[in-house]
Amino acid sequence: MGRWIQGKCDRTGYFEGLGSEGFPESVLELLKEASLFYHVPAAYLFPVPDMLKKDSLNFFQVDHNWVLAMLDGICSVGRNASIDYAHDTELIVDIYRQALRENEQVRLKLQEREYTDTEEDVPEVISGFLLNSVLTENFRGLEFRAYGQREGGEPLKALRIETLGRQLLLGIFKGEIRRLEIAQPPEGLHFGFHTEDGVMKKTVREINEGKLGDKQAELVWKSKEDRVIDVKASAAKLKEAAGLQNMTSAEFALEMIQNAQTGVYTMGEEFK
């Protein structure tokens, strides 16, 4: 029997000239999704159920090492021989970096919006929040804007804002969140009025800016007993008070909707 020959394991420069070009798009897509915790079961995300209390807003930072371990697990399939290991050691770092750099495409693709490559490097900090509230259920289309500063500044890029359950919502942003604004979905703003001395009144909104002015218009009942509003007469009153030329349903809606409300949470301070 012949003797075993020790293989030469130093593969320095063995993969020279090869790059991450041609990496399968489907694998890259999966890596981008996984880096934003798609395909991750809830038990891995919340090992303890009492982390998700009702009416809570919990902030967190993403553990990069956890994400990289998961991405490596995804790419570990078929990594059997030492040559595969050497190959991945040399070539796959760039793939992980690319997946982390371009993972904002996942949200843009879901919203059918276009992606423009800003050639930004992988962010050092990725942070997010979990909202567990009736807001998620009753105000569909909530809007979130996160900032890296307590005051002012440019909004952080949203990587993922999605509902995970009936009342549970996840937000992940590029950078460290120091201020978060939660706004009422404008498409769901309702028509409202206030009652003064038994008269329905509506403060008139300026047509171009959309801001409320000082003038008020009286809304007209068709039948007070039946709580039915005379739409045409009320629209005419609003038209007169706002000094408008036309009063279509668009102007009527602008005048009748209630103001949107916004909640601001700032790090280190109470809700205001």
Partner 1 sequence: MEVSMRFADEDLPEIKSGLYELEIELNTGIREDGTEKQSKETIHLVAAAKRFSMDPGEVYSVYPAAGSEGEFSNCLPHIVFNRGTLPWEFGCRDGSPGLAVFLCTEDEGVQKRTMKVADICCPKEPGVFVSEHLRAQNSDAETGDETCEFVDIPLKLYRRLFTDSEERKLLTHVRQVKLDDKVTDPLVRDGTFSCLVSKRYPKEPEEKGKKTAHKAYVVSLKEYEGVTIPENAGFVRLICLYAWEFVVTKQPYDFRAALKRISPGVLKRAVSPEGKQGELVDILSRGYCPVNHDVRDGSKTVSWYRGPWIPYGEKQMKPRYRIFSDQFYFYDPACGMMDVSYACAWQLGRMVSMNHLTVCRELVSWRLDHCSEAAQNFQQSQLFDRIPAEGKDVGEQLINACVRAASQLAAEKGDEADGTVDSGKV
Residue number with CB closer to partner 1 (3 or 53): 53
Of these, 22, 117, 152, 198, which contacts partner 1 (CB under 8 A)? 22
Note every long-range contact of 154-163, with CB atoms under 8 Å and residues 24 or more positions apart, other chains counting. Answer: 157/104, 158/104, 158/107, 159/36, 159/103, 159/104, 159/106, 159/107, 159/126, 160/36, 160/37, 160/106, 160/107, 160/128, 161/107, 163/136
Residue number with CB closer to partner 1 (3 or 157): 157
Residue number with CB closer to partner 1 (3 or 272): 272
The CA distances from residue 84 to 20, 21, 98, in Å, are 15, 17, 20
The CA distances from residue 232 to 227, 236, 249, in Å, are 15, 6, 11
Query: Least distance (Å) from partner 1 to the CB of residue 167?
Result: 11
224 part of the interface to partner 1, by CB under 8 A: no
252 part of the interface to partner 1, by CB under 8 A: yes
| Three-class secondary structure of residue 82 per DSSP | helix
Helix 64-75 and helix 25-35: axis angle, to 10°? 150
**Site map (CB under 8 A) of partner 1, residues 59-78, x = contact:** xxxxxxxxxxxxxxxxxxxx
14 part of the interface to partner 1, by CB under 8 A: yes
Identify the bridge partners of residue 128 per DSSP, sorted by sequence position.
60, 172
Residue identified by tokens 């009416």 is 55
217 part of the interface to partner 1, by CB under 8 A: no
Residue number with CB closer to partner 1 (3 or 226): 226
212 part of the interface to partner 1, by CB under 8 A: no
Of these, 139, 215, 216, 218, which contacts partner 1 (CB under 8 A)? 139
The distance from CA 4 to its chain's CA centroid, rounded to whole angstroms, is 59
Q: Total number of residues binding partner 1 (CB under 8 A)? A: 130
Note every long-range contact of 40-48, with CB atoms under 8 Å and residues 24 or more positions apart, other chains counting. Answer: 40/70, 42/164
Touching partner 1, residues 232-251 (CB under 8 A): 232, 235, 247-251
Query: Least distance (Å) from partner 1 to the CB of residue 216?
Result: 14
**Site map (CB under 8 A) of partner 1, residues 101-120, x = contact:** ------x--xxxx-------
Residue number with CB closer to partner 1 (3 or 245): 245
